[in-house]
Amino acid sequence: MRKTFSILMILVLATAASPIQAQVSGLPDFTELMETAGPAVVNIRVTQFGSISRPGRGGAENDAQEEIPEFFRRFFDTPNDPRFGRPDRSGAGSGFIYDSSGYIITNHHVIDDADQIIVRLADRREFEAELVGSDELSDIALLKIDALNLPALKFGSAEELRPGEWVAAIGSPFNFEQSITSGIVSAKGRSNGSQQYVPFIQTDVAINQGNSGGPLLNMKGEVVGINSWILSSNGGYIGLSFSIPIEVAASTVQQLRDTGRVQRGLLGVEVGVVTREIAEAFDLDRPVGALVNNTTRGGAADRAGIEPGDIILDFNGEPIETWNDLPPLVGANPPGSEATVTVTRNGVERSFDVVLDALPGEDGETLASSGGGSSSSNPLGLAVDDISPARRGELGDPTGGVVITDVESDSAWRAGLRPGDVILAINNRDVGNTGEFEELVEDLEEERSVALRIWRNGASSFIAYRPKASEEE
């Protein structure tokens, strides 16, 4: 009996081990990728020159208080020589050669405000680089060194990347040159408030200070992204790394190489999140799209007929799932190009042909009225008042509207409404005075979300909530 049991245990252990062995044997080998791509990855050292202290001008103590660019705060080597009012500051990053004639791609933040850029190749040769051009919005910079017949990397496709796919990064974390790390694609289309035109690739590849500007590679050794930033609570890698898709980088680099600057199309809308309440109020079956909070007067969207309260569902055939999807699609088109925008308005889909403008720069407390008669409490839980002509100017000259003088409903307060907000529209129906406000409120359906277009601090936005529910809580 014991012999039979032993044999069974051996068989069970052998069976359990075989899938693990198969899984281990299936892990990728990055040695060939490193041997092929490594020679084209470079280390970048930057210096911002200091200034010698001048007598009678405050000396080093005052000069040291000058603002230091973010990159040099992260990576610095400051001499303690008292002769320097503002000492030299240096930093390091990564980059890669994409053209054998000496063109190198890196991040804008790596070389921003640098007085000298030194590129060190994998074979230890060093060159002083010329800055061809740099674009802060995409965090891409293009450098040129005086060298020929250099090893260069090929571009792959970030669009074809799938979550779960293996990728690798090569760079100089903490100035350790020619370091390779690997991981998988975690997600695509991530947003960053300071670079809204970039749909970042999220990975769990170990990226640290000094990796910035280096390539993110697929298993073919092709560049699919430029390593740009990490999300961290302590300044170090915690598993959230973000890279610029190569399609965005390639477009930026080509424009920098051709003209030294980048041009982007501008739709002329302020967009916000479509919440569950907004979707219900605007007759959508799910929260999807980009809510138009406001349009630029005379801008591309305004000229085409797009209005505040429209929800953009599609741009040039590309679906808009969230508002973050819209800016990269618009920015990828040059000024003057035509685009088709599909919106839903009052539950009906409509399409508009727009001609994009150019993004500019590439070529207080809201006050209430002491005017007309005040409206008393209502189903919305809001007390409102008309706006006098003098007070309208102080509010930033909103068109129409009534001002909130008191928020009596808990749900309205939790939704974000405050005294001093100007209500411009209710469920996409304009409000011109307190009389119109009361008429619209009387027509509201019970137990249904209502969307208010409000004006606050010179800008409009939407707030939605269920007014009836608040009275029952």
- The answer, yes or no, to whether residue 57 has pLDDT greater than 80, is no
Tokens of 452: 């208010």
pLDDT per residue over 366-415, tens digit each? 233 334 444 446 788 888 888 877 667 667 678 788 988 888 888 888 88
- Token pair in block for residue 164: 């779960």
Which range has highest mean pLDDT (20-24, 64-68, 73-77, 351-355)?
A: 351-355
Task: Give one DSSP letter per residue of 65-112, joined into a string.
Answer: TS---HHHHHS------TTEEE--EEEEEEEEEEETTTEEEE-HHHHT
212 is catalytic: yes
CB 293 within 8 A of CB 329: no
- Taking Cα atoms as reference points, which of 334, 387, 395, 399 lies closest to residue 367? 395
Looking at this protein, which amino acid is placed at residue 210?
G
- Pair of tokens at residue 267: 């739709």
| pLDDT at 127 > cutoff 90 | yes
Integer Rg of the chain from CA = 29
Of 90, 94, 179, 212, the catalytic one is: 212
Q: What is the pLDDT of residue 328?
A: 93
Between residues 298 and 193, the one the model is more confident about = 298
Q: How far apart are CA 161 and CA 388, in angstroms?
A: 57
Concerning whether 139 is annotated as a catalytic residue, the answer is yes
- How distant is the alpha carbon of residue 407 from its chain centre? 34
Which among 139, 302, 325, 385 is annotated as catalytic? 139
On whether the pTM is more than 0.75, the answer is: no
CA distance 305 to 102: 48
In angstroms, the CA 7 to CA 471 distance is 71
For residues 143 and 130, the answer to whether their CB atoms sit within 8 Å is yes
| Cα four-point dihedral sign 134, 222, 209, 129 | negative
Quote the DSSP letter at residue 334.
P
Beta bridge partners of 105: 96, 142
From 94, 108, 109, 228, the catalytic residue? 109
| Sequence-ordered list of residues with C-beta below 8 angstroms from that of 350, at least 6 positions apart, any chain | 342, 343, 344
Residue 143, strand partner residues: 104, 131
Mean pLDDT of the region 220-227: 97
The residue-averaged pLDDT of 25-47 equals 92
pLDDT per position as a tens digit, 406-445: 888 888 888 888 888 899 999 999 998 888 898 888 888 8
Contacts of 27 (CB under 8 A, 6+ apart): none
Which position has the token pair 């007014």?
467
Domains for the chain: give ranges and CATH numbers. Answer: 37-144 (2.40.10.10), 166-259 (2.40.10.10), 265-358 (2.30.42.10), 382-472 (2.30.42.10)
